[in-house]
Structure 1
Amino acid sequence: MQTPLTFSQITSMASAFDWLAQNPALAAGLIAGVVALSVGLLTFTGVLLSNSHAMKRQVRQLQHDAMQSLRNREHASRQADLNREHAADQARIERLTTLRREVYLTAVPELVKAQGFLARLSKVDITDLAQLSPLEGLAIAASKISVVGSQPTALKARRLSSRYGETFLKGVGLLKSVPSLNANIRLYQNLYDQSQSEINRILSSITQLNETNTCTPEIAEGLNRSFGIQIENSKKHSTALTQAIQENNKIGLNYSKELLNELSQTSHEVDELLCLIRGELGLPTDLAEFRTQSAEAQDRIRTVLIGLGVGFEAVAPKPLPSASDPVEAQRPDLQPSL
């Protein structure tokens, strides 16, 4: 609560006002000083407030700049990490793509070798392990694809290698009698050649005896007997050789037909594997077109196989001597010399 002025205080203030009234110049100066002091105080206060506000704003700006700089550094760091990760991923993808390309390009020839091996299996000595290298190469190629290829490609390659192994085992079952037939063919061919050699020797002896006129009845009888024996042996060996070749050809033809059926079923998996490989290499691929072309090729092969038969390499035996045979015609009548 404000204390009321006392009489003496009021009297002093009145005296002061009287004095100021009596000295107007001094009063004016005093008032001007007070006003100037007030203005100065207000100005100083305004400057302090302005400086304080500016300082606060500067502090906020500095804090904002510091935060923004920190954010920028963090963003740059994250972006650098992302760039490094992206570059590492790109390098890894490029290395993997290059590795896959090398593996795939070496696997395709192994596939072709395996197909050729199965096609000539009837002429292959399956007891010789070195002859089985095409299937081994295909298995190695499939294993490499399983390591570097995508899972669908790896599974398809493994499945295809297994299918070719199954086809090989089926072929071995169909051709199990071929080794013995080939051995018989070689045996009968050798026996037939030996008989022909003996026939030629006898004919040469007969010719020499006739030319020298030194043939006796005993010699003539012996040569005629030997000639007849060799002719019979030659016929027997020729017949056995022809039968063995025909049986071998029959087995080979049956195998070729079965192989064509197996490869017709396997061709779909081959097309799928090739399309998967092309897809991983970034090449445009249409599986339907591959299958259509494979089907057309199989139809053409089947037509040729039916029309011409498979081109077996078996050689027909030489003609058998007969009454109208040149060998028989060359045989002179033996006349003992006088």
Structure 2
Amino acid sequence: MEEAKAFLDLIPAAVWTGFFAIIGALLAFKAATISNNGNNVRLNAQLKHDAEQKHIERMYAIRREIYLEAIGEYPKAGAYLASYAGLDSLEKDIGRDLHSFFIASAKLSLVAPPKTQEVLEKLGLQYSMLIFGVMQRAEPAREILRSIKTYEALCNQYDEHVQRVLLKMNELSESASFNSQQSEALQSSFEFFSTQAEKFKEVCGSEKAKFHEVSTDFMKQLMLEMRPLNLLQTEAIILLREDLKIETDAVSMRQRMDANLSDVFKAANNIMSNSLA
């Protein structure tokens, strides 16, 4: 023990100072390393959180844009299907006219979370089944429309002949050289063309009445099929609102939709019943 003390006493103070300085530096380096490691961990966590937050905000912005677009397409699709057996139905093309609806539905399926996507898939399936059903049931009305257009064209054609003959009859009656045979021929032509025009007018009127009856039946069937689809569509809109963090009273929305559908269907039934009376 004495020898160890004597040995330590032989070490100069300057050496001790340097030794403790080295020890202090090592401890400071260690403390700095520990502190830096802690800072790195916190920094990485913050960077990860920021990246996740940016991803959430970016996805929210994408969903908002796509959701709002799709919500606007749903009522347009329903109104279009209701008019598919209308007077202008021959100019309609579902693939072309519902192009934006199909694109909006595909985008929805791409960005919606699982729970919302499940409801959207059910809604898309119902729309697909409804569209195919509408195309099939609308065909009788569209066929009648083709007949109406044909008869109207014939009627207009014979009306033009009637006007042409009347013009010639007037010219003949006002001319100095009146020809009885020519007058009789014009009279015969007038009667023939007039008879044909009246015949096709009657046929056209009959076809229009038939079209009205068929299109009314089409609308009644469509309304029955639209009801469950509209209710499911309401469920989808509720989920879309919740995904967008929009305050939503789901119970109230369901009740209002059910009440509105009942009122609309009653009013439509009254109108169709009165039109057939």
Alignment TM class, shorter chain as reference: 0.7 to 0.9
For residues 231 and 240 of structure 1, what CA distance do their matches in structure 2 show?
Answer: 14
Compute the TM-score of the two structures, normalised by the length of structure 2.
0.78
Number of equivalenced pairs: 251
CA deviation after TM superposition for structure 1 residue 192, in Å: 0.8
5 Å-filtered alignment, 1:96-107, equals 96-107=59-70
In the alignment, which residue of structure 1 is the partner of 2:101?
138
Select the residue among 20, 44, 52 that pairs with 1:81: 44
For residues 255 and 115 of structure 2, what CA distance do their matches in structure 1 show?
Answer: 22
In the alignment, which residue of structure 2 is the partner of 1:118?
81
Matched, 1:281 2:247: no
CA deviation after TM superposition for structure 1 residue 109, in Å: 2.6
For residues 177 and 262 of structure 2, what CA distance do their matches in structure 1 show?
Answer: 69
CA deviation map 1:242-277 (0-9, x unaligned):
122122222211111122112211111111111111
Compute the TM-score of the two structures, normalised by the length of structure 1.
0.65
Q: Is the 8 A contact 1:181 1:248 kept in 2?
A: yes
3-state secondary structure, aligned to 1:133: helix
CA deviation after TM superposition for structure 1 residue 68, in Å: 7.6
Q: Is the 8 A contact 2:148 2:207 kept in 1?
A: yes
Matched, 1:188 2:151: yes
Q: Percent identity?
A: 20
**Paired residue type of 1:125:** L
Structure 1 pair 134/273, CA: closer, same or farther in 2 (3 Å)? farther
Task: Single out whichever of 202-211 and 66-75 deviates more from structure 2.
Answer: 66-75
In the alignment, which residue of structure 2 is the partner of 1:236?
199
Task: Single out whichever of 170-179 and 289-298 deviates more from structure 2.
Answer: 289-298
For residues 270 and 184 of structure 1, what CA distance do their matches in structure 2 show?
Answer: 37
In the alignment, which residue of structure 2 is the partner of 1:158?
121
Q: Is the 8 A contact 2:89 2:142 kept in 1?
A: no
CA deviation after TM superposition for structure 1 residue 153, in Å: 1.4
For residues 168 and 238 of structure 1, what CA distance do their matches in structure 2 show?
Answer: 34
Coordinate RMSD, CA, aligned = 3.1
Select the residue among 208, 214, 217 that pairs with 1:251: 214
**Paired residue type of 1:261:** L
**Paired residue type of 1:100:** R
Select the residue among 69, 74, 91 that pairs with 2:54: 91
**Paired residue type of 1:274:** I
Higher-helix-fraction structure: 2
Q: Is the 8 A contact 1:271 1:291 kept in 2?
A: yes
For residues 71 and 245 of structure 2, what CA distance do their matches in structure 1 show?
Answer: 17
For residues 190 and 134 of structure 1, what CA distance do their matches in structure 2 show?
Answer: 27
CA deviation after TM superposition for structure 1 residue 206, in Å: 2.9
Structure 1 pair 136/272, CA: closer, same or farther in 2 (3 Å)? same
For residues 193 and 264 of structure 2, what CA distance do their matches in structure 1 show?
Answer: 45
Where do 5+ consecutive residues of structure 2 fail to align? 1-19
Q: Is the 8 A contact 1:275 1:287 kept in 2?
A: yes
Name which one, 1 or 2, has greater alpha-carbon Rg. Answer: 1
CA deviation after TM superposition for structure 1 residue 111, in Å: 2.1
CA deviation map 1:175-230 (0-9, x unaligned):
12233322211111111112222222333333333334754442343233222212
CA deviation map 1:121-172 (0-9, x unaligned):
113337x75x523433223222222221111212222222221121111111
For residues 78 and 134 of structure 1, what CA distance do their matches in structure 2 show?
Answer: 56
